Amino acid sequence: MDKDRGHMETRCVRWMSDIKLLMNRIKQLSYFEVAVELYEPIQFKGAVPFDMEISGNIVVAQVLANSYEEAEHKLLTFLFEGERDV
């Protein structure tokens, strides 16, 4: 019985550590304004996960991320690899 309890306590400590890491990541999130030039028209079907404006061939989006690089990656992935009807 003590062996099971020790195993459960170990899992609980790992779980709490994972929660602390996640909470720290959430606390560090910021909005980044990312602009991308489009070379061909696109259409979206369904929800767009960003506050986004398209003016001509320029997309400007507010993206929640830990860094500008992560925000840019999220937007580019959504625009050019995401699920949408073209």
- CB atoms near residue 84 (< 10 Å): 14
Per-residue pLDDT of the chain (86 residues; tens, 9 = 90+): 566 676 777 888 888 888 888 888 888 899 999 999 998 888 777 888 899 999 999 999 999 999 999 999 999 999 988 654 43
Return d(Cα 24, Cα 32) in angstroms, integer: 18
Return d(Cα 85, Cα 7) in angstroms, integer: 49
| Domain edges within the chain | 2-81
Q: Residue 16 is encoded by which pair of tokens? A: 């709490």
